[in-house]
Amino acid sequence: MITRKGNPILQRKRWSLLLLIIFALFVPYGKAAEKQKASVRMEARPNEVYQGESFILKIYCDGFDNPAKPDMSYLSSEFQLEDLGAENRNSTMITIVNGQQSRIEDRGITYNFRLTPKASGRIRIEPPIIKDGNRTLTITPIEIEVVPPGKQDLVGLEMSGPKKEIYPLIPFRISLTVYVKALPGKYQDRDPVLAIADHTDPGALYIPWMEDGKLEKGLIPSKNWEDWIMSFRNTNGGFIVNNIRINDPFDFGFSMFQNRSRSALFLPPGQKTERKIANGQKISCWKYVFEREFQAEKPGEFSFDPASMKGVFASGNDDSSLKPENIYVISSPLTVRVKDVPEENRPKDYIGAFGEFTWKADFTPKKVRVGEALTLTLALEGTGSLLQVKPPLLESIPEIAKNFKVYPPSENITKNKAVFTWSIRALKAGKITFPAVPISYFDVKSEKFVSISSDPIPIQADPSEVLSTGTVPQNRKMSKSIVLTRSSEGIFANLTDPNGAINQKIALRDWVKNSLILFGSAFFFFCAVQILKKGKIASFRKQRENAHIARSDFQEGIRMLEQSGAEDPSLAASKIRNAFLVPVQEYFNRSIDTLTASETDAFLVRLSAQKNGAFLPDIRRLFEQLEELRYGHEKSTLLEIIRTAPALFEEWNEFLSERRTRKFLRNLMKKNKNDLSALKMILILSGILFCGITGCSSADQNDQKAFNEAIRVFDEAEQKESGLKEKTAQDKENEQKSDDARDLFLKSAAIYQGIIDRGTESGPLFYNQGNAYYRAGEKAKALACWRKAARYMPQNSYLISNIEMVAPKENSVRPLFELIFFWQNRIGYPAKYQLSVLSGIFAFAGFLGLLLFSLMKKDLSKKEAARYQRKRRFCLNITLIFGLLFAILSTSFLYDIYRFDYRQYGIVQAKEAIPRKGNSLQYEPLYKEALPELSTVSLLEDRGNWYRVKFSDQQEGWLQKKDLLVY
């Protein structure tokens, strides 16, 4: 008996790794690799094509470590050029001869380009300029033969589009019509493409403007290209279009690694018609129209490259003379002209938009002090083109120029919405109405300009003390000798990583959705396992039924042999044979009636390897005797079968009922799965299924652009501020510089606010916005921003320093929940969300392992049972531990959601804010002293001009609204 210790594949891997290590130790003592000589060559595949047919140009650069990509733009006059990327061909070969090691290195890269010739003839392709240091390498030019389409009347291609100029956004159709000459004789009424589908290869049609990625910028299809081309799908025959391939669901190949895809066929409904050919004669043909609808977002000329057809079509004059003919035909190119809006009667406030839109304005906040920054948002939303849209000039409106100071806007333009955000300061106190802002756009349907205006917005500007010029506001605890310097990060300086614009906001619905996915998947797998268990019970019942049928067939076969004598025992022999094979029929892939004698004999030989299978040669002998009965027999054989078969049948059934035999049969037929490997597979599968559940996102391009712009404005403000000297009464220039610096800091904060208003929130965003507000003298707003930033990055040392330097020291009492969950204010709530979901995934994986082990058979040996119990306990511990972590972390995350999303807070911005026991000045003060400026409170109730709040010592009282900055 052959025994096997360990996994042979793993052993081979270990030996390979050991040999590789030994081999690597001697690598440094071999010969150094010789430097490969630099060379370049070109190759075209194929070197003969039809006009309009593409070919691949390869440029091989050998002996280069990292050669510069060749500039092929000089070929654009003769070819349509498409870059297909590069292939790295670096390789190393090591040889050892007589103990002497040598290494040969091949360094190179291949650049691939697809070229489509615009004209026919023999074209010489000149090589690009490639240098090796200061030496220009010589490259041999190549020539390619471009064959023009032949003259024929069998197939024709025509492209058509709008006959006149159109405005942007007006839908237009591009039609490609394929004409195929009708078949002669009795087949003239049959579709020629479908009629020859089984006799020739389908024609290959190439439509360059089919794929959306190859369309010119500013051209929008009404339907994506996959949906459009699939509407012409025809399984009975048609054309191959752009070599589109699909997987064949009816191809049941045995290799999972083979490419089972095939070319898809497309054919629009055919229509019989007549076509005029070159000599003016009209011929009968069938036409097939591929029509697609587009819109242009902007004025200009849009080119549609010619389509081409290559394939074999039937030609002839009568039924008997049909013959295949190779055809290549190309259509003419097409240009669609989209005209701009008319110059005549164009309004001055036209902002470059086409379509139909609404125009809305919003202010945040609507009540400020003079000099404080307001955020104005104007949104243009609707259907149409916004590619050329520009913000309106607010300074040109007299009412705005008179009452407000306006700073340059930031822009956020998407497909159907343009949002412009300005930072604006009121120049005087009182009730001011921000006037309506008029704009005009062009309605392409009516071909007229349309004027619309935003609604006027009332603003309340209260008098306010302006920060002394030339100074930076500091907390009383902050040393006057501290110099504020620009750095990538630090106290009162910005975080400049562009990833700061990534949205870290986690909504409650995200946690609910992912929790439902986890619990729903667990319930699904639980139900699936229960069904599998029932299936096992059904399989066990089936085995018992088979055993009963086998015993009945055996008894009937023996009785037939005893009664028939020597007349016709073939039927009885088949019943006895089948009685032996019915209990094991599940291990064969077909009916036992179709098994040959050699197959059953081979099966019994394999079973003979079992220790308790010594009697199996007697069964093989019995099967041979049964075969003899079926094709002629002797009486002695029949009598011997009647005598020996019953005992062999009982031994056979006892043999099959033993666990060792069942296990051997499962291994033999490859139906046994290793439990540990299956467990690993389940764990990996669960990880793959839920690897994206915590969400990974990148910064929006517009947000990142605005983020960088805000940092640039902040830097500009610092440069202005750094040039200030000590201010005197006569230094008017420094006074102006101070105002300009403050305005720039406010503009930087307004840009950050624009990003936040679009739904993006992150620690760096709030942190930088707080810095900008602080440098502009808005200490309450700065502290509110830093408090928000602490929700996302509570352990950031610079953020902690900023808050400690600005906020007053308070005798705070932590809630009981935060004492129990001691990490609550040390981990950001997005991290709590991710950890909770991750622990849920591990708990789910452990639960899957438990379900897997519940499917295993329990009739195991003592050693196997112990191993089974260890693994089951491991999965149970994983489920319980990570399930408990999921519950704890989820509770911690939900507490953050409650206190951050469903509660409001306030910063005391008054120098003397007196909390009272009721919502009136008649109530006595809650404390003997006024609250320190910049204290933080929690809002509990809004009543009239008062807020009921909770202070840091957990006492409740009332504060006037004017004393608080709510966030």
DSSP state of 490: B
> Tell me: the pLDDT tens digits for 248-269?
544 444 333 344 467 889 999 9
The pLDDT of residue 474 is 36
Average pLDDT over residues 103-108: 68
The answer to whether residue 790 scores a pLDDT higher than 50 is: yes
Average pLDDT over residues 507-535: 70
CB 623 within 8 A of CB 601: yes
The pLDDT of residue 696 is 46
Average pLDDT over residues 448-467: 79
In whole numbers, what is the pLDDT of the chain averaged over residues?
76
The pLDDT of residue 321 is 65
Neighbours of 826 (CB within 10 A): 9
The pLDDT of residue 159 is 94
The pLDDT of residue 475 is 36
> Tell me: the pLDDT tens digits for 205-256?
999 888 888 888 889 899 889 889 999 998 888 999 988 887 654 444 433 3
Task: Select from 719, 786, 764 the least CA-distant residue to 475.
Answer: 786
> Tell me: the pLDDT tens digits for 819-850?
787 777 778 878 888 788 888 888 887 887 77
The pLDDT of residue 856 is 62
The pLDDT of residue 462 is 82
Structure-token pair, residue 920? 């009136």
pLDDT band at 663 (very low <50, low <70, confident <90, very high): low
pLDDT band at 955 (very low <50, low <70, confident <90, very high): confident
Average pLDDT over residues 10-37: 48
Residue 140, φ and ψ in degrees, nearest 5: -80, 125
Residue with tokens 């506001």: 473
The answer to whether residue 129 scores a pLDDT higher than 60 is: yes
CB 297 within 8 A of CB 218: yes
pLDDT band at 437 (very low <50, low <70, confident <90, very high): very high
CA distance 839 to 835: 6
CB 149 within 8 A of CB 53: no
Residue of 84 and 486 predicted with greater confidence: 84
Residue of 665 and 867 predicted with greater confidence: 867
Could you write out the DSSP letters of every residue in 47-70?
A: SEEETT--EEEEEEEES-SSPPPP
384: left (phi over 0), alpha (psi -120 to 50) or beta: left
Peptide bond into 268 cis (omega under 30): no
The pLDDT of residue 94 is 60
